[in-house]
Structure 1
Amino acid sequence: VKELGDVGNDLEIYGNKLYAVINCSHFVEVMDVETAKHITQISIPNCRYLAFYKGYAYVSSYAGPVQIDPNARLGYVAKVDTASLAVIDTCIVGFQPEEMVISGNKLYVANSGGYRVPNYDNTVSVIDLETFTEIKKIEVAINLHRMEIDKNGYIYVSSRGDYYDIPSKTLMIDSRTDKVVREIENLPNSEMALCGDSLYVYSTEWSYHTNRNTITYAIYDTQKEDIVTRNFIKDGTEKDIVIPYGVAINPETREFFVTDAKNYVTPGKLHCYSKEGVRKWSVTTGDIPAHFAFTRKKLKPIQ
């Protein structure tokens, strides 16, 4: 286990490099993908998530300190040259930007406004990647977070709601028109992962009314436009998971992985499931396991 810093928030592979966003330490750690050896760190304040396109990394940033602040400033997206590993430009977006997806020559950014509670942001910023300027904002729902895009250009966006009376939900944007085309009924969403036409969605929905989480595991078929199961774990072992905190699907085997953050302060668990939803194995991890990156490269042993 490599000590990286405070709060790993995203993990992605691009080319021969592994990028880890270390949120509360305000940098992106860049490593060799085969050895996980340090290459450099890219300083970006309160950095959140990564996206890649044509030799550039795009990093969302809250652009300010890690604290609740009704006067928190607008966030931005940093553009990083993956050859020089330097920030070469920034683009102002909404408040506390989170995940991003790319469609054609447009970068979509989910703005949360999470630091400005109860005055959440409710927009997705659209950035033209040629000019690297924000060209529009799409009103979607409050407190946006996760994003996925399917092969037909539909973008799935999660809203965390307000934890009181406005529930979490999943919405769809058509990237051809940049319009919200659907709210998927009764699909709360803490995180999602797309494999083929199957959108795996789990929700750990907190309510301040009840002071507890409601946990669900669903698969939404993006072609049929329907929820095909309300529990993708089929052997009852979801009862062993205290706080689901990450999901990923192996694109070749269709095995899927779910992490458990437990109580957030002690080592968590990583569970591997067959494509049929039966647990194959589990392993203890570090604290709050959350993010995955798959590679076909042969990894070298840690020296």
Structure 2
Amino acid sequence: MKRFLKLGLGLLIASSLFVSCSDDDDNAMPNLSVNNGIVLENSATAAITGSELNVVDTDTDDIDIIYTVTIAPENGFLANTADITTSVANFTQADLTASKIVYVHDGSQTLTDEFSFTVTDGDNVLTGIFNISIGEKQIGYFYVLNEGNSNGSVTMINRNDEVTNNYFSSANSSVALGQYPQSMAINDEYAFIVVTTASGAGYVEVVTASDFVHYATIDGLSYPREIAFANGKAYVSNGNGADANYSKQNNEVYVIDLKTMNKTGQIAVGAGPEKMIVSGDKLYVANSGGWSNDDNTVSVIDVDTDKVVETVTVKSCPKDLVVDANGNVWVYCGGAPDYSNYPNVTYVNAGISKINTSSSAVTSYDLSNLTTTGIKNIAISKDEKTVYFMSDAVYEMNITDTALPTAKFIDATFYGMDVNPVNGNLWLCESTGATTPGKVHVYSPQADKIKDFTVGGAPNSTVFRY
């Protein structure tokens, strides 16, 4: 049983309790001069050196100062670098000084660990506790949203790479999710799935995050697209289906009370609002133009007042957004389609626009050779310093670069793209059609392919849950 309350993420505890069991007058009392603990990332291995744990004894050599583990770590083990697969219960101060002792984390979803020990110089004995802080939690579940055809679905992949297709249906007595689920987001309690129907009666399906069982339905929406959280509220972007003339229609963002799951407000924005993202106290809304493909603005909403405070002009048909390490917003603009040479479709004024959120200044870069489909075409790295985007391939761009890259990062395009926030891997959705199983390809941040999963039809995004 743990002797001390564990502290939160990233906290390093300097010392615990040290008791002398004897004090021989002929043998100087050792001094536990350093007990700083360590910090490491989930599933990592970290050395415990003399800088983290050190006993000073004026008349005993380091090799004769012996540590014994009395209560082992619960979420990993100690090992010698000579064999890091085998647990050790004894080591010396000389081992610590030579960086030979390591802690190996087992990958469990824990923020802290510890071990108790005694240390002796042969006559005198001290006791203590060494504290370990796990820097990041591990992703436990990966949810892939599949648009499908008449009925969409959710694929659940657990941390052991076990795949459950039709996960929503299996958790809800074979009830289907519905037509064209477009996006999904999750908080501590609930998962929210935005479903855009062909009939113009879209809704948000709310399930409990722990078991994916139906909790509520947020309805009264015409063409909902995306959901975001800010300031204790949810926001849903809502548009209109195509009319006979594909005319431009300005639309709205609905404000949702997360306690009642009811709409409590409506904010007028541009046409065809799609992705939304939060930077600071502002919600940025990409106005794609909807079926008219005739908008090139981003609406900026103050989440305290729920009012539009600014409208920023970007490239044509903005659809997807990310926020970088500086809080700036990067906008993926798919361009207005030109069908004059159909079936050869070109996209006019496509590009990447970066909004400086401090000054609202916009820097834009032209995209050419656009061949990707779908709208989820931009993502940000784990450290938020690298932007990934698609055109005729996947590219990576440092946020300090002043021009788009020419070298392809991954020589393929996909239907959706997300980044695992813990390890930085890219999860890339491949659609082979609405009625045939799709795939998710996982790549490392170095563009090495790691694994594939077979999922539902037309997968468009992956949501990560701890």
CA distance in 1, matches of 2:257, 2:303: 13
> Which position in structure 1 is the counterpart of 2:292?
116
CA distance in 1, matches of 2:329, 2:300: 12
CA distance in 2, matches of 1:45, 1:82: 20
CA distance in 2, matches of 1:220, 1:295: 26
> Which position in structure 2 is the counterpart of 1:82?
258
Q: Is the 8 A contact 2:315 2:352 kept in 1?
A: no
Matched AA of 2:295: D
Listed as ranges, the gaps of 5+ residues in structure 1 are 204-214, 297-303
CA distance in 2, matches of 1:227, 1:70: 33
> Which position in structure 2 is the counterpart of 1:46?
223
CA distance in 2, matches of 1:127, 1:94: 12
Instruction: Choose the corresponding residue for 2:417, options 247, 252, 272.
Output: 247
Distance 1:48 1:116, change over 3 A: same
CA distance in 2, matches of 1:255, 1:128: 32
Q: Is the 8 A contact 1:7 1:22 kept in 2?
A: yes
Q: Is the 8 A contact 1:170 1:184 kept in 2?
A: yes
Matches within 5 A, 1:140-155: 140-155=314-329
Matches within 5 A, 1:268-287: 268-287=438-457
CA distance in 2, matches of 1:262, 1:229: 27
CA distance in 1, matches of 2:402, 2:212: 40
CA distance in 2, matches of 1:285, 1:67: 33
> Which position in structure 2 is the counterpart of 1:34?
210
Q: Name the count of aligned residue pairs.
A: 274
Match of 1:115, SS state, is helix
Matched AA of 1:192: I
Distance 1:33 1:69, change over 3 A: farther
CA distance in 2, matches of 1:280, 1:87: 42
How big is each residue's C-alpha offset from its partner over 1:234-281, in whole Å with a ceiling of 9 and x where there is no partner?
xx7x4xxxx611111112222211111113332211111233222222
> Which position in structure 2 is the counterpart of 1:168?
350
The answer to whether residue 360 in structure 2 is matched with residue 178 in structure 1 is yes
Q: CA deviation at 1:95?
A: 0.8
> What's the TM-score once normalised by structure 2's chain length?
0.55
Q: Is the 8 A contact 1:30 1:38 kept in 2?
A: yes
> Which position in structure 2 is the counterpart of 1:220?
397
Distance 1:186 1:95, change over 3 A: closer
Distance 1:68 1:268, change over 3 A: farther
Instruction: Choose the corresponding residue for 2:299, options 112, 125, 129.
Output: 125
Q: Is the 8 A contact 2:279 2:328 kept in 1?
A: no
Instruction: Choose the corresponding residue for 2:182, options 2, 6, 9.
Output: 9
Distance 1:254 1:103, change over 3 A: closer
> Which position in structure 1 is the counterpart of 2:464?
294
CA distance in 2, matches of 1:141, 1:274: 30
Q: Is the 8 A contact 1:95 1:113 kept in 2?
A: yes
CA distance in 2, matches of 1:160, 1:282: 27
Q: CA deviation at 1:135?
A: 2.3
How big is each residue's C-alpha offset from its partner over 1:182-229, in whole Å with a ceiling of 9 and x where there is no partner?
1135476851111221111123xxxxxxxxxxx211001113455567
CA distance in 1, matches of 2:319, 2:353: 11
Q: CA deviation at 1:114?
A: 2.7
> Which position in structure 2 is the counterpart of 1:210?
none
CA distance in 2, matches of 1:163, 1:72: 15
Distance 1:260 1:102, change over 3 A: same
> Which position in structure 2 is the counterpart of 1:20?
193
Percent identity between the aligned chains?
Answer: 27
Q: Is the 8 A contact 2:277 2:285 kept in 1?
A: yes
Q: CA deviation at 1:68?
A: 5.9
Q: CA deviation at 1:177?
A: 1.6
CA distance in 2, matches of 1:100, 1:68: 28
Matches within 5 A, 1:260-275: 260-275=430-445
The answer to whether residue 213 in structure 2 is matched with residue 61 in structure 1 is no
Matched AA of 1:184: Y
CA RMSD of aligned residues (A): 2.1
> Which position in structure 1 is the counterpart of 2:380?
194
Distance 1:68 1:29, change over 3 A: farther
Match of 2:423, SS state, is coil
> Which position in structure 1 is the counterpart of 2:268?
92
Q: CA deviation at 1:13?
A: 0.9
Matched AA of 2:185: E
Distance 1:141 1:184, change over 3 A: closer
**Mean alpha-carbon deviation: is it higher for 184-193 or for 132-141?**
184-193
> Which position in structure 2 is the counterpart of 1:207?
none
Matched AA of 2:428: V
Q: CA deviation at 1:113?
A: 1.2
CA distance in 2, matches of 1:20, 1:68: 28
CA distance in 1, matches of 2:418, 2:284: 21
